[in-house]
Amino acid sequence: MSISRRGFIGSAIAASVATGLSAQDLNAQDKAKDDAPRAAQPSGTSKRPIIVCANNGVNYLDAAFIFLKNGGDTLDAALRVVKGPEDDPNDDSVGLGGLPNEEGVVELDACCMHGPTRRAGSVGGVRNIKNVSAVSKAVMEHTGHVMLVGEGAERFAVAMGFPRENLLTEHSRKIWLLWKEHHSTDWWGPGLADPQWKPPSTSPQAELWEQRIQRLEEHAAQLGIEPEFRMAAIRRVLFPPTGTIHCSALNDKGEISGCTTTSGLAFKLPGRCGDSPIIGAGCYTDQDVGSAGATGSGEENIKVAGAHTIVENMRHGMSPLEAGLDALKRIARNYNNDRSKLKFIDMTYYILRKDGAYAGVSLWEGYSTRRHQIAVHDGTKRSEVTVPLFKGVSHEFPPFPVTPKELTQDSVYVK
Ligand code: ASP
C-alpha cells in the first residue's frame, strides 16, 4: 500500500461520511479497490463469534478466537487478547514496560464488563501489577465493589495471588529520564559544570527547536538509548503519547463482553486516571445491545461518557458506525467544533453490536505516523482502517512551532 494511496482511501471515506453515503456504499467502494485496507464498519453480513480490538492486539486474536469458538467465556476471550500487550515489555502503552507517570512510576488502569451476568469490575492507578485487566475481573468476581484504586487495588491484587513486579523497563526508564531532564525546571539534568552545558539560546524559534532536538539527541546518547530508537524516544518526550488496548468479544450464542487496559498518558500526574478504568467511558457492555471501548484522549472521552453513549445510541436504533460518529461529534461539540483545538485531540472507538455488526471510528484519520486501525477476527483475522469524522491527521500536543526535518521525514503518510 503506497503512502499516497492510503491517503486517498482515507479521504474517500471521510468524504463519503460527509456526503452521507451508507455503510454499504462505503463497503462497495472499498471492495472495488481490492488492494485497499477495508474500512471498519458494519458489513451487513455480520458473523458470530467475533472479536474486535485495538490494532495492538492483532497478534493475540487467533488464540482468543479459537478459545471463544470452542465455548470459552466472552470476557475470558477478550482478556486473553489484552494480556498479550500487557505482558509485552516492548509495548510501552500497556502493562509491563508502560511509560511511567512524572515520578517514573508505572500506574495502570483497566476495567471490564461481563455481558451474560451483567457485572463490571475496574481498577485505577495500580502500581507493580502487570495484568490489571485480570485484576478488574477479580474485583468483579471477588468483591461487592466495582472499582478499586491505588494502594488498595494493589493490595487486593496481591491477596488474589497476582505477583508484584517492577513494571518499569530500562527502555521506558530511559525515555522517562530523557523527559525528566528535558522538561524539568529544577535541578534534574546536566548542570553548569557539564562539558555539554550550553547557555539558553536567544535565537529565533526554528533554530531554538533544532537546538533542543540536538540537546535531546545528545542526552539520549548519554543515557544509552539505541541510535535507531533515539528519534522515537525524542518524539515521546516532546509529545507524551497515549496508548491502550480495548477488546470486545461476542460468541455464537450472542453473549458479549468487553475490557480495556492501559498505562495511560505518559508522564501523567501521579494518581491521574483516564477514561480506561471508567465504566461507560473506556468500556461499556450491555448484553441486550452490544459493547464499545475507546483509546485516545481520555479526558475528552470521560466528558462524553463515550462507550456508554455509543451503546445507548445503538439501543435507540443507530448502526455501530452512526453511534460511534455521534459520540465523536459530541467531543467536537465540546470545543464548538473548533478544529484549531480539535486537531490536538484524537479518539478511536471500537464498536460491536450484539448481532455481530461492528465499526471502528476515529476523530481523525490517524497520527502523522500511522492510520488508525482496528483488528477484527470473525473466522478471518484482519486489520481495518477506521472511519474518521474529520479528514486529516491529528497533531501532537503540546503544539510544535517548527517541525525539525528529522522528526517528521519518514512519518507523514498523507501529503
Ligand atoms: N485513553 C487512555 C488514557 O487517557 C490513553 C489512550 O488510549 O491512548 O489514559
pLDDT more than 90, % of the chain: 63
Q: What is the mean pLDDT of residues 216-228?
A: 87
- Looking at ligand 1, which residue's alpha carbon is closest to its atom 9? 264
Ramachandran region, residue 101 (left: φ > 0; alpha: ψ -120 to 50; beta: rest): beta
pLDDT of residue 414: 32
Q: What is the mean pLDDT of residues 304-315?
A: 98
Closest C-alpha among 237, 392, 247, 235 to residue 307: 247
More confident: 405 or 266: 266
Question: What's the grid cell of residue 370?
Answer: 500511522
Instruction: Using the Cα atoms of residue 310, residue 316, residue 321 and residue 322 in order, give the sign of their dihedral.
Output: negative
- Contact 136/112 with Cβ under 8 angstroms? yes
pLDDT of residue 398: 63
φ and ψ at residue 3, rounded to 5 degrees: -60, -45
Confidence of residue 20 (pLDDT cuts 50, 70, 90): very low
pLDDT of residue 104: 94
pLDDT more than 70, % of the chain: 80
Using the mean position of ligand 1's atoms as its centre, give its distance from the Cα of residue 261 in Å: 9
Mean pLDDT check: name the lowest of 93-102, 225-234, 269-278. 225-234
Q: Is the pLDDT of residue 318 over 60?
A: yes
CATH superfamily of 28-79+241-270+281-388: (Glycosyl)asparaginase (3.60.20.30)
- pLDDT tens-place string over residues 350-363: 999 999 999 999 99
Neighbours of 377 (CB within 10 A): 26
User: How far apart are the C-alpha atoms of 157 and 139, rounded to whole Å?
Assistant: 9
Contacts with 148 (C-beta within 8 Å, 6 or more apart), sequence order: 122, 123, 124, 139, 156
Using the mean position of ligand 1's atoms as its centre, give its distance from the Cα of residue 276 in Å: 6
- pLDDT tens-place string over residues 63-97: 999 999 999 999 999 999 999 999 999 888 899 99
User: What does the domain layout of the chain look like in residue ranges?
Assistant: 28-79+241-270+281-388
- pLDDT tens-place string over residues 166-175: 999 998 999 9
Q: Is the pLDDT of residue 186 over 80?
A: no
- pLDDT tens-place string over residues 364-393: 999 877 899 999 999 999 999 999 999 999
Q: Which of 276, 278, 300 to mutate to test the pocket of ligand 1 (most atoms within 8 A of CB)?
A: 276
Q: What is the mean pLDDT of residues 46-67?
A: 96
| Ligand 1 contact via 242 beta carbon (within 6 Å) | yes
- Contact 282/256 with Cβ under 8 angstroms? no
